[in-house]
């Protein structure tokens, strides 16, 4: 069952990947802004989500849908698809080849605190890279098994992180970076949470953390990183969610967890 769901996620993600890559070459149109002027949605975001939704409806009409750009629909099968039609939309707008289509399927409500992720695919069409996993079946990049780095100390850890579409939040997030930057090897801001989590899964990053993610920004990448041997969660044993998302090899996870607490990662954010 999970393999079939994985194959479906991959087939559909690749089709949406082809579409957004084609639109990229044809020229990107901003359709609207959302939570702030910086938070844009393009016509291609809408087209990609509409395509994914219709293909899922054809293949599995009883499943629920929870996507970034359209109304959620509830499930009668117990399964719900969590979809980000373009993760890294600002990269997509600027032509930075680090954006992805993300498709995951979970058992239960579309709530990261309670869902059980079963299968997931994240495809970066500009790089020709497709990450995928099924629960208990491991993770792959273009079909090749991948593993997260292990045995890395915090002082030599290369981390990834991200910043919100709200200026006050970005200032707060920059404060966490200021605390952390002297404790680790370096920090990368690559612009897509899903691809950051996949980078942990294949060893391009030793760890990743971010606060304020939506469910569709981490649903797929979290399962892929976990199946590659990383621990993915929040603070104080919580699940990964908007409250906090941290991913790293289990030993490094614990060290980074405490460094982030020292840096004030759980403080309340204004704005
Ligand atoms: C983005 C995430 C990124 C985060 C951005 C935004 P989007 O998702 O991938 O990690 O820093 O604020 O949430 O908006 O491109 O789908």
Decide whether any atom of ligand 1 lies within 6 Å of the 166 Cβ. Answer: no
Ligand 1 site, residue 192, Cβ cutoff 6 A: yes
**Nearest partner of 149 among 160, 133, 163, judged by Cα:** 160
What is the average per-residue pLDDT within 87-102?
98
* 224, 197 Cβ separation under 8 angstroms: yes
223-243 average pLDDT score: 98
Q: What is the pLDDT of residues 4-39, one digit of tens each?
A: 999 999 999 999 999 999 999 999 999 999 999 999
The pLDDT score that the predictor gives to residue 268 is 72
pLDDT(108) > 60: yes
Count CB atoms within 10 A of the CB of residue 262. 11
Measured CA angle at 126 (ends 28, 124), to 5 deg: 105
162 lines ligand 1 (CB under 6 A): yes
Q: What is the pLDDT of residues 62-92, one digit of tens each?
A: 999 999 999 999 999 999 999 999 999 999 9
- pLDDT above 90: percentage of residues in the chain: 97
pLDDT band at 267 (very low <50, low <70, confident <90, very high): confident
pLDDT band at 51 (very low <50, low <70, confident <90, very high): very high
* Contact (CB, 8 A) for 65 and 44: no
Confidence of residue 269 (pLDDT cuts 50, 70, 90): low
Pocket of ligand 1 contains residue 173 by CB under 6 Å: no
In the predicted model, is pLDDT for residue 270 greater than 60? no
Mean predicted confidence (pLDDT) in 265-269: 80
CA dist list (Å): 30 to 23, 74, 85, 186? 12, 29, 15, 33
Q: Binning pLDDT at 50, 70 and 90, where does residue 140 land?
A: very high
Q: Is-contact 208 200, C-beta < 8 A?
A: yes
Q: 46 pLDDT exceeds 60? A: yes
pLDDT at 189: 98
Taking all residues of the chain, what is their mean pLDDT, rounded to a whole number?
97
Note the pLDDT of residue 157: 98
Short-list 118, 136, 104, CA closest to 228: 136
Q: Is the pLDDT of residue 271 over 60?
A: no
Length of the chain: 271
Cα 151 to ligand 1 centre (Å): 29
Q: Shortest CA distance to 121 belongs to which of 51, 256, 213, 16?
A: 16
Indicate if ligand 1 lies below 6 Å from the C-beta of 163: yes
User: What DSSP character marks residue 185?
Assistant: S
Which token pair is 132? 């995928």
Task: Output DSSP code: residue 244.
Answer: -
Best residue for ligand 1 mutational test, from 188, 191, 240 (most atoms within 8 Å of Cβ) = 191
By alpha-carbon position, which residue is closest to atom 16 of ligand 1?
87
Q: 48: pLDDT confidence band, cut at 50, 70 and 90?
A: very high
> Is the Cβ atom of 84 under 6 angstroms away from ligand 1?
yes
Cβ 65 under 6 angstroms from ligand 1: no
236 class by beta-carbon count within 10 Å (0-12 exposed, 13-18 middle, 19+ buried):
exposed
Alpha-carbon span 202 to 206, nearest angstrom: 9
Q: 171 pLDDT band (50/70/90 cuts)?
A: very high
């Amino acid at each position: 069952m999970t393999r079939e769901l994985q194959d479906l996620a991959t087939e559909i993600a690749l089709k949406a990947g082809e579409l957004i890559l084609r639109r990229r070459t044809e020229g990107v149109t901003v359709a609207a802004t959302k939570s702030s002027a910086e938070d844009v949605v393009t016509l291609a975001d809408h087209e990609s989500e509409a395509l994914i939704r219709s293909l899922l409806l054809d293949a599995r009409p009883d499943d629920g849908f929870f996507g970034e750009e359209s109304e959620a629909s509830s499930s009668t099968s117990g399964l719900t698809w969590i979809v980000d039609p373009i993760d890294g939309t600002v990269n997509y707008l600027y032509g930075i080849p680090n954006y992805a289509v993300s498709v995951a399927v979970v058992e239960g409500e579309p709530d990261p605190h309670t869902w059980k992720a079963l299968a997931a695919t994240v495809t970066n069409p500009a790089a020709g890279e497709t990450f995928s996993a099924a629960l208990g079946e491991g993770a792959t990049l273009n079909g090749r098994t991948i593993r997260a780095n292990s045995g890395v100390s915090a002082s030599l850890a290369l981390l990834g992180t991200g910043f919100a579409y709200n200026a006050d939040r970005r200032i707060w997030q920059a404060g966490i970076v200021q605390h952390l930057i002297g404790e680790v090897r370096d920090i990368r801001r690559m612009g897509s949470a899903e691809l950051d989590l996949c980078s942990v899964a294949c060893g391009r990053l030793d760890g990743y953390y971010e606060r304020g993610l939506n469910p569709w920004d981490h649903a797929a990448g979290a399962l892929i990183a976990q199946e590659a041997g990383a621990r993915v969660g929040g603070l104080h044993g919580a699940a990964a969610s908007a409250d906090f998302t941290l991913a790293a090899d289990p030993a490094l996870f614990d060290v980074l967890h405490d460094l982030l607490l020292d840096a004030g990662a759980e403080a309340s954010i204004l704005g």
